[in-house]
Structure 1
Amino acid sequence: MAEAHQAVAFQFTVTPEGIDLQLSHQALSEIYLSGVRSWKKRIIRIKVGNNVISGVYPASPSSWLFVVIAILATMYTRSDPSMGLIAKIQEHLPVSQMSTQCQAVVSAVLFSTMLWLMLIFTMRLCLKQLLSYHRWMFEQHGKMSTTTKIWVALVRIFSGRKPLLYSYQGSLPNLPVPAIKDTVKRYLESVRPLMNDAEYKRMTNLATEFESSLGNRLQWYLKLKSLWASNYVISRFSFVFQVSDWWEEYVYLRGRGPIMVNSNYYGMDFLYVTPTPIQAARAGNCIHAFFLYRRKLNKEELKPVSTVIPLCAAQCERIFNTARIPGEETDTVQHWQDSDYIVVYHRGRYFRLRVYQAGRLLSPREIEFQIQRILDDTTPPSQGEAKLGALTAGDSSGVNKRSLDCIERAAFFVTLDDEEHSMMGEDSAECLDRYAKSLLHGKCYDRWFDKSFSVVYYKNGKSGINAEHSWADAPVVAHVWEYTLAVDSFQLGYNEEGHCKGEVDSSLPRPQKLSWEITPEISQSLAVAQALADDVDFHVFSFRDFGKGKIKKCRVSPDGFIQMALQLAYYRNRGTFCLTYEASMTRLFREGRTETVRSCTNESSAFVQALEGGEPADVCRRLFRAASEKHQHLYRMAMTGGGIDRHLFCLYVVSKYLGVDSPFLNEVLSEPWRLSTSQTPVQQVELFDMVNHSEYISCGGGFGPVADDGYGVSYMFLGENIINLHISCKHSCPETDAHKFGGQIRKALHDLLKLLSPNLKESNKTDEGRPEVKKDK
């Protein structure tokens, strides 16, 4: 994903004073602070919202009453389940004026409460141990072992009923620190197909020296941090102290280059339909839906996202009311507990639009009415206001913070764009490309790239979203975006004229235009941003010749199939292999974010070379399956804490705090990811009817190129017959071309299907499996 761009080139300087040969006060202090942040976060969680319920999960508050009644009942039967503890408590009660019977009841209640808390602790400890079991992921599909069957049953028993969003947080295991020798071994294996014998021998010597000397010392600090903090990579503490930890700070917040294109990413609207052509109406429904989602989030009514087991929900805390605050050396991510307004940009003006009136969320029709007021407002922008947003697009700097406070505290940011975007035109492919570029960078000043997310509504009713990357990863944003699209179209709907349903309170106060006294020079930031935006080459297409349905008939993982196709396409495009980044989540662990799957392997390169070398089909099939299985193994390892890149990153951070230099780590962290890839899964399939309403298809999302001479590729499987792909690169590199690479990917997909199922008739010559294309409404 886009974090690969920052992970390549990030660097920082630490000058710890008082370092001795064994310990670094700076490093130990940083580890201590990480743990303090982590524990403070746990304490804060108890005080917020439904956290009393989540805090006692998997038990329930009502179970306390059951335990108390049970203990009191045994007392009346003249039995003592406490084995004398109730009597001991009664002896030490500070109240002497109570009757003996009353003291006995109070003592029994206190004992019952302690017993209840011990039971909760035991159940959570058992659940945590159960959630640490990941062998199920490595078992062959459809062949579950007896151990795993027993494990599934125990997880269901200890998981309780009706969990809230954050119920599992206290039971999720900590991310394990891999062994140095395992990480070094896997790293050397990953770079073997990219190096000649001399280069590989040199890297092996560097790695061996690192493993036997400095590596063990750095590892000691990481193990210490893992014992103290909940996640040795992240361990951030948010919403009160606004403090970030290693991954968030050094990969994102310390970067001084533009976050537009380099870090932010986008999501698209439905492909084939636009629910209404009225811009204000579309904004009214969707903004209302966003706040419905926020209400569910605050009440923890959203179901915990899960695979077979629940995923960490920590990133959800900062979806709304969050902004990246520029600083001199490092930015910060700040989250506010609540915000009753949004900020809307239109034709160079900024408006504060309150979406609550006397504590009531405005209806979609009322929000449409307020949005239309902004569209009809003819007030000119203040001097310098029109292009103020360029300050968030160019190089990072801390300017005019007080004037920006209103925007930073808003629930989210909205742009009312004067452009029209749709895939329905003479050249639908070119339309999609322009649509993607608009969502990624716009005009470089009409988005607020520092907000947690900005929503764009175009003149013809089309929409899209742009998200800042430091606070969360794409699946979290995709979740709220899926919900919003579904609620907008299938629950709220529109009347026959295309307006939002409901009535309007015409006495609503008008949206407030923000006033500015802008003195900073914007042209420099805008020039940097504009040059970056103009350099981006984008190609987005919907591959409808076949999808994961036919891929699964070949008994192959759809993700592995795509990754092998990308390796084949890149080799045909450049005549060589490259370091390949595929984003994998680590949310099976507390505060987990992402890990890297290095998709270019010895097995994948052997397969590509055999296919291109004209080897027999049966040989190529055997090599393909070996490569696909290797990729799936690496993906599972990454998800279960066995990846290498986050471990190497943290070792590098510790080395900087210690003030020591590692030639091995320096080279590892400077290697460019010339092919950066990411899959965007559909998480809430129950919200969409892909069979009867297949025209309601989102095209997914994408991100900018990671390396100046490389490609960024995002892909999404929709239903059984469609694959949407987003490809980015830079015009300035003569060796990259997004459209040519897209053509190579198409050809590679067909070649792989033909290889794996020579007798399976492809549907590229027919319209089989394609949704009926309907004109935008």
Structure 2
Amino acid sequence: MRSTSTVAPKPLSLPRLPVPELRKTLDRYLTSIEPFLLEDEAHGGLPFHSAYSLRAKWADEFAAGVGQLCQDRLLALDRASPHNWLDDNFWIKKAYLEWRSPLLVNSNWWLAFQDDNQIPAHAKEEIAGITPWQVRRGAWLVHRVLCFKDRLDRQELYPDTTRTGIWLRDSVSKMFSIARIPKPICDIFSKPPLPTQPDAQKIYIMIHGWCYAIPVYHPTSPLTLVGVQAMETRIRSAVADAQQRLASGEKAVPIGALTADTRDKWTANLQQLLDLSPQNQKTHQVICNSLLGLSFDGAAPTPLTGQEGLTSHLCAIRAANSNVANRIFDKPYTIIVDPSTRAGSSGEHSPCDAMVPSIVAEWALVDGVDASFFDAPEPAPFASQAAADNTGWERLDWDVDAKFEAECSAALVRAKAIIDDSDANVFWFQEYGTDWIKAALKQSPDAYIQMVLQLAYFKTRGAFTATYETALTRMFKRGRTETIRTFTKESRAWVLGMVDGNTSQQTRRNLLHHALHAHSALTREAATGRGIDRHLLGLRLMLRPLSGEEAALFDDELFQRSQTWRLSTSGLSAGDLFKGTGFGATYEDGYGINYLAAPDMIKFGIESKFSCSRTSTDGLKDAIFEALNDMQTLCLATDAAVVSERTSHL
């Protein structure tokens, strides 16, 4: 008889991230600098062919000489690396951990959630003080996030038989029970605890600047998540304790502000803080080992509705002057809820890219607060609760002296300066979205949005700039990201055609087609391990200058200029469950732009600096809206022209 048993599918294994071919990377690099050389020529610089020939000569010399040595060293490093040459050796350090700027705005990402329609309207009108519905939504979101984590770990979601499952499980694991620890020169990550360790079964919450630990797993084998009702009860008890402390006149020392300081300043302060007492060592260790953070802000920024409401919500999630001490900026994932139950998340960027926590958040937000999971559909007012029960939570206090109180005050002043200079905003374009783009152009909506940003930037600055777009290399084992260089000779030609009144609409449409095609080709190359920027970084790091090795290619000012990303951009999901998202500009005179492209709308999160006279978030927003409308007009007009032309010949 034929057996009816089935064999479980074998888990997939992802290929290693390749080391690209040296000659191909150099050729692609030369192509990428062509628009810069054309711009230089147009503004009185060297003729294009002379300038290009010089760079081609340097590339040839590099390929024939020290470049091949660097390539061989990179290949040897890859063979000695457990996962790949990039992630195992230098990407996280060079991209993140060696940066000494504050994480606040400069590195951490932020994400504003849509309101929960299961929460009654009256609860959304509260604007001050910790509220019962605020606690309930916080408990619900934590529970949902940890349910996703557990189901992913058990392979009930995205199993290892799919590439997405392998990539997502590895990436999501880096969101939890870890923290960035400041160190001289280069930060490190805390060592992840074993899941059976008590600290790994806790979250930490921040209330009025005080920190508490809450166990959220039953210490059984296997570990099981406590019910959301029990989680809410424990959190309410900790909130009651914080409220009592506040009512008695006690005031939290704003240690959280120290984590928003420069990394060198935080390094020195943390070391001294840990040297002060064993209690400080314990508190810091629990925070590092805890699964995630939950911050209850004590005031809802107003207004609550409209465009100003969107902006105030997003900026409060990013951190505002009133809540900067109510965060630990070193943690990869913090859920934030204000008294009106508006919520969002923020996180330290280095363990995983913002796409990963956004996937987790989307899953958590699909189901709003379900009353059937709680003892009562309406949480009881805090006034009716007895004195704080001391079970199910613990204080995570700090022992500080007058010196540290002064350090915290100074850190708050510096954080306020960063926040006050951050021109962060979110804008919704609701005239059309990806459905219309795909139907009208039959090309990538992402490439289309990137061309929008090229045109908008040029309209505001009268110049072009190197533009960074994130591409995920998720098809490879421990793949992270690669750069898509949006500023190309094709995008330049199209933008110039759009601002030249003598260029016909049909010519502009043809130029747009070429620009979109070029961008899509670069996107495919980047996603499939054939990008150039990570490879160029690796080659440069393989040089041995102390041994006299040098490369004119890398010493060229254009090499650096082509990587000066005054436009730093990234697209996430359709974002139906998000109000907006954002991250900081990479350069003081640039923009950080995150966008959510849905079928019928596009949401843009834009950040720049008020202190720079050459940038304006509102100004760029207006230019983006104008570019989106101009491009639709162009596509509709040229489509109509084609029809008219065909009709005239009948």
The interval holding the TM-score normalised by the smaller chain is 0.7 to 0.9
C-alpha spacing 1:490/1:641, structure 2 compared with 1 (3 Å)? farther
Q: Aligned-pair RMSD on alpha carbons?
A: 3.1
- Matched with 2:432 is 546
Q: Offset at 1:301?
A: 2.6
Is 1:223 aligned to residue 84 of structure 2? no
- Matched with 2:353 is 473
Q: Secondary structure in 1 aligned to 2:107?
A: coil
- Matched with 1:9 is none
Distance in structure 2 (CA, Å) of the matches to 1:482 and 1:663:
47
8 Å Cα contact 1:233-1:247 kept in structure 2: no
Distance in structure 2 (CA, Å) of the matches to 1:180 and 1:193:
22
Q: Secondary structure in 1 aligned to 2:214?
A: strand
> Counterpart amino acid of 1:676?
S
- Matched with 2:505 is 617
* 1:10-54 C-alpha deviation (Å, 9 max, x unpaired): xxxxxxxxxxxxxxxxxxxxxxxxxxxxxxxxxxxxxxxxxxxxx
Q: Offset at 1:370?
A: 2.4
**Range with greater deviation from structure 2 (287-296 or 201-210):** 201-210
| Structure 2 unaligned residues grouped into runs of 5+ | 124-132, 275-280, 641-650
* 1:508-539 C-alpha deviation (Å, 9 max, x unpaired): 81521223212442344333332222111012
- Matched with 1:116 is none
Distance in structure 2 (CA, Å) of the matches to 1:361 and 1:603:
53
> Of 679, 685, 710, which residue of structure 1 is paired with 2:571?
679
Is 1:255 aligned to residue 91 of structure 2? no
C-alpha spacing 1:211/1:490, structure 2 compared with 1 (3 Å)? farther
* 1:552-576 C-alpha deviation (Å, 9 max, x unpaired): 1112211111111111111111001
Spell out the pairing of 1:346-745 with structure 2 (5 A cutoff): 346-357=207-218, 359=220, 361-376=225-240, 377-380=243-246, 385-396=252-263, 397-398=266-267, 399=270, 400-401=273-274, 402=281, 403-421=283-301, 424-425=304-305, 428-443=306-321, 444-489=324-369, 497-499=377-379, 509-519=391-401, 520=404, 521-554=407-440, 555-614=442-501, 615-655=503-543, 660-666=549-555, 667=557, 668-669=559-560, 671-682=563-574, 697-718=577-598, 720-745=599-624
| Structure 1 unaligned residues grouped into runs of 5+ | 1-64, 68-159, 237-244, 684-695, 762-777
Q: Secondary structure in 2 aligned to 1:312?
A: helix
> Counterpart amino acid of 1:302?
L
8 Å Cα contact 1:456-1:463 kept in structure 2: yes
Distance in structure 2 (CA, Å) of the matches to 1:174 and 1:598:
23
Spell out the pairing of 1:129-168 with structure 2 (5 A cutoff): 167-168=11-12
Q: Offset at 1:421?
A: 4.8
> Counterpart amino acid of 2:97?
L
Q: Offset at 1:225?
A: 2.0
**Range with greater deviation from structure 2 (628-637 or 556-565):** 556-565
* 1:495-514 C-alpha deviation (Å, 9 max, x unpaired): 985449xxx9x988152122
> Counterpart amino acid of 1:576?
A
- Matched with 2:128 is none
Q: Secondary structure in 1 aligned to 2:211?
A: strand
Q: Offset at 1:311?
A: 6.0
Spell out the pairing of 1:45-444 with structure 2 (5 A cutoff): 167-168=11-12, 171-195=13-37, 196-197=40-41, 198=45, 200-201=51-52, 203-236=55-88, 245-270=89-114, 273=117, 275=119, 277=123, 278-304=133-159, 312-313=167-168, 314-334=170-190, 335-338=192-195, 339-357=200-218, 359=220, 361-376=225-240, 377-380=243-246, 385-396=252-263, 397-398=266-267, 399=270, 400-401=273-274, 402=281, 403-421=283-301, 424-425=304-305, 428-443=306-321, 444=324
Q: Secondary structure in 1 aligned to 2:179?
A: strand
Distance in structure 2 (CA, Å) of the matches to 1:319 and 1:487:
21
The count of corresponding residues between Structure 1 and Structure 2 is 575
Q: Offset at 1:606?
A: 0.4
Q: Secondary structure in 1 aligned to 2:637?
A: coil
8 Å Cα contact 2:332-2:347 kept in structure 1: yes
8 Å Cα contact 2:14-2:163 kept in structure 1: no
TM-score after normalising by structure 1: 0.69
Percent identity over the alignment? 29
8 Å Cα contact 1:648-1:665 kept in structure 2: no
Q: Offset at 1:233?
A: 4.0
Distance in structure 1 (CA, Å) of the matches to 2:617 and 2:184:
36
8 Å Cα contact 1:548-1:721 kept in structure 2: yes
Q: Offset at 1:469?
A: 1.0
Q: Secondary structure in 1 aligned to 2:619?
A: helix
8 Å Cα contact 1:542-1:723 kept in structure 2: yes
Larger CA Rg, structure 1 vs 2 = 1
8 Å Cα contact 2:178-2:291 kept in structure 1: yes
C-alpha spacing 1:609/1:235, structure 2 compared with 1 (3 Å)? closer
Q: Secondary structure in 1 aligned to 2:167?
A: coil
Distance in structure 1 (CA, Å) of the matches to 2:109 and 2:572:
12
TM-score after normalising by structure 2: 0.81
8 Å Cα contact 2:115-2:341 kept in structure 1: no
8 Å Cα contact 2:116-2:369 kept in structure 1: no
8 Å Cα contact 1:384-1:518 kept in structure 2: no
* 1:124-144 C-alpha deviation (Å, 9 max, x unpaired): xxxxxxxxxxxxxxxxxxxxx
